[in-house]
Homo-oligomer: A and B are copies of this chain.
Amino acid sequence: MAIIMGDNQYGKAENRVVRIYRDSARHEIRDLNVTTAMRGPFAPAYLEGDQRNVLPTDTQKNTAFAYAKSVGIDSIENYGLALARHFVTDAEPVEGARVEIEEFAWERVVIDGVEHDHTWTRAGREVRTAAITVDATGEYVIGGFKDLVILKSTGSEFAGFLVDEYTTLPETHDRVMATSLVARWRFGTTDVDWNAVYPQVKAIMVREFATLQSLALQQTLWHMGSAVLEAIPEIVEIRLAAPNKHHFVVDLSPFGLDNPGEVFIAADRPYGLIEAQVLRDDTPPAHDAWRFSAGLA
């Protein structure tokens, strides 16, 4: 019996790259959190501390900032692809590169009805994400978002479930349904108009969440995922993780008050957690596209 190195990767996590475009008086801003990771013949670094093949994580950081200038940040997918291709192509021992990016949205402030040229407030809505993998098997782009907090105050039921000796939950045909959605969608190609697809995907998922009379959060997730796949041919697979953020109706009857779904307590923990994958039956293999999703929870 021997002990061996298995999968491994290393990189620089959470580079906070901010890019201002100031070519005209009307500036643009892109605000990113960039994580890079290298895969390849790095076993000597582990087994003997031999760094000859190791591109330092500090160098990866420098590259992420330099590329924000030299390549620019048109979309996080293209910027990430450029970075990943560089590491695999130009850093000789590197066999695979993984780039994970979060993008924080900013909204231009409006003053007396006019958008301001160089001032924004952070839009606290969902964080757009990308995870790019480039290796010998190909190029893989996973788009996505996290922290899309969405709530509907009616149009959600939960009934007809399995009952055992530990079941005390009553059925309900009208409840609040809320989640903080994480969605990640894998593209089957890199020939994509990334910035056009993103709002399309989000709009479809929001529409399905809002309009489906939901019998379960599971059903809502399926409708969200399959509707995206139906509408956008470049996407071949979608993964969803949805905490069921419980809003419990407060019993106000001790105080002589009726409460027909009007006053709720929003609970922190525990929460339901539903995870699902929706894909095409001819989805190409993912290889390492989902492996070691590093800096982004």
Q: Is A99 an interface residue (CB 8 A)?
A: no
* CA gap between A213 and B121 in the complex, in Å: 18
Q: Would you call B11 and A121 a contact (CB within 8 A)?
A: no
Contact of A221 among B46, B62, B106, B260 (CB under 8 A): B46
Number of copies of chain A assembled together:
4
* CA gap between A254 and B68 in the complex, in Å: 15
Q: Would you call B259 and A69 a contact (CB within 8 A)?
A: yes
- A75-91 CB mask vs B (1 if < 8 Å, else 0) is 00000000000000011
Contacts A54-B162, A56-B161, A148-B121; is A275 near B9 (CB within 8 Å)? yes
Q: Would you call A270 and B12 a contact (CB within 8 A)?
A: yes
Q: Would you call B210 and A49 a contact (CB within 8 A)?
A: no
**A154 neighbours in B (Cβ, 8 Å):** 22, 27, 118
* CA gap between A7 and B149 in the complex, in Å: 24
**A68 neighbours in B (Cβ, 8 Å):** 262-263
- A90-108 CB mask vs B (1 if < 8 Å, else 0) is 1101000000000000100
Chain B residue with the shortest CB-CB distance to A155? B118
Contacts A69-B252, A167-B56; is A265 near B18 (CB within 8 Å)? yes
* CA gap between A228 and B20 in the complex, in Å: 30
* CA gap between A42 and B47 in the complex, in Å: 45
